[in-house]
Structure 1
Amino acid sequence: MNDHHKTFIAFVKLGHFLRKFVTLETPNDEWSQKLDDAITLSKHKNGWFTRENVTHALESWEKLLTEEKLSAWLGSYDLSKNKPKKVALIMAGNIPLVGFHDFMSILLTGNKVFAKLSSNDNALILFLKDYLISIEPIFKETIEISDGKMEGFDAVIATGSNNTSRYFEHYFSKVPNIIRKNRNSIAVLTGNESKEQLQALGEDIFRYYGLGCRSVSKVFVPKSYDFATLFEAVYSYHPIVDLVKYANNYDYNKAVYLMSEFKILDNGFLILKEDKSYSSPIASLFYERYDDLDSLKDRLATDSDQLQCIVGENIIEGEIAFGKTQQPSLTDYADNVDTVDFLLRT
């Protein structure tokens, strides 16, 4: 069995393990207990990482890590083109396992990963590293975690904010790179959405507390749109305000808006504010009214480099169905940059 096949089989086995774990009521073996401990530790390190949200991330991955889906994904590439290299991976930590797709892509293409973990999301990644090594010793040679200055790599994938991206672009300019910046997701409403669709939109808005680039942070609505319909549909998400960190952000942002005399709509756990920006603070959802869909489509095309997902129905090519933004497939690349193609060309 060659190294690529060993790596592939290991990720299939990881999928089996995660499928078993998410169906357990209590851990019943050593590795399940270790993962349970890693989930607890991740919540201590990052208060946004509730067990429910971490479990949601694990469930998303167990659905993707199947032999069929991995084969279909990688089957469209010629992996023999790869020139083995050491790839520096600067990982974000805004939502659980946000950098795992890059981590996996580097390994499955036959390269070594040299990872700089975010302090906000290191417990889960370190667990997955240890588990992979336990089932396939080859990973001892192909996974390295950086604990200091990063040197001696051949390419880099770095995810950060618009501010850190400028530093990354300067620091990593001498090697092939993917530098990711802030992106946001939006929804385009027509007023004809069903209650079920608007309820599903709540998942896109509130999952991971709106911290991901795939979280809907803004909605575009017709001139005469009545937000009472949306508020009613998403009311079932109101327990989100029970998390103190979320409640603090809600209270703070509401106070700022009121002191600034901004006109806002508020339902006790979500603030709606009319704003041209795509990036809304936690517990806030920006909105903008449009005159006609054709003009809006032109604007969204112009702003495509700022957008990750567009939610809607029969609005725009590549749109995502209501409630599905946090269920990306293996071919849904961050910033719409094909990571596997980059790794094979570099």
Structure 2
Amino acid sequence: MRSYYGTAGDVGVAAMFCRRDRVGHFAIDRAALAAGSPDALFRLLVTMAMFQRRSDVQIMRVLRGIAHGDALELTDATRLLSLANDNCELARTLDALLNQCDLGKCPETKRGVCSQRPTSTCHLKRHTELLKRYGHFGKMPTSATLMLSAQGVADLPSLRTRIWEQTADPHARALALEGAISRAWRISEKIAAMYLSALTNRDLSGELAPWADGVDTNHFVVVDSNVDLFLKAIDYRGPMTYRARRAFIQSLAARIHLDDLHPGVRRYNPRLVQQALYMFMSESNRRANEADCCHDAPASCNRCPRALASRCSLNAAADRAAVAAAGAS
């Protein structure tokens, strides 16, 4: 809360996705996001879905390398739907895209390929090349717009409105939102939580949380590989299901009075506690932030509580380097 909260170094929060220096031409207009613009919300969903299986630093480098026109196409729901309708029949419905399209990537050429229409040009093949991920990742942007079509809505605000009309229960709304967007390709519980917490958690996003009212935002906790590293460091022995790990972090958050650390923040906010675990364990993000305490080691390590310093992987790396240097001398 002292070092990262509300600063430019806080990674993975809504404000980051409004910054050209972070995500290049995928950057979202702040006013449009605050207003809940359909275009802004869709762009945020596609861009956030990129952040999986690789370090944030690598993904931001990929995004910054994508040209303006390509970035617009990858994040324009109307354009993507038009491309889907004009191309292979396996890209025209969500079920066909998820279950029949076998989009891949040639290991040698890095070109998009498939076995069903191997000689055909296809926007999915082009997208998988642009996104520079594993072969089938090119399905993701198109699947996001087909996910909306499959549920009979025109855009993400319409999806929210329909769910709000169906139930007044905040937790039921959270589950319904999570379930709806998770139908898209590669939108996991983690990505859904990352996206929906950005739109609903005012402590996390401030004015950039247009869906904050009437929903249980405490349900949206992002359990990623860095959080799992923390759980391993504290010898967590509970079930490894997403639900169990989320519940553990929620119970942990109940013991931490955030308003004592930062006035104005809700006392209980598991997403902020989880964000702290994520940042603490994220070596690449911390190294990339010149203000992080790792750049002042070992002096900063001596100021850290022993129980925390003993679980800091960057502190351990500094100790190993010091031992190696001493041995060499």
TM bucket by the smaller chain? under 0.3
Report the structure, 1 or 2, having the larger helix content.
Answer: 2
Q: Which structure ranks higher in relative contact order (CA pairs < 8 Å, sequence separation ≥ 6)?
A: 1
- Normalising to structure 2: TM-score of the pair? 0.27
- Normalising to structure 1: TM-score of the pair? 0.26
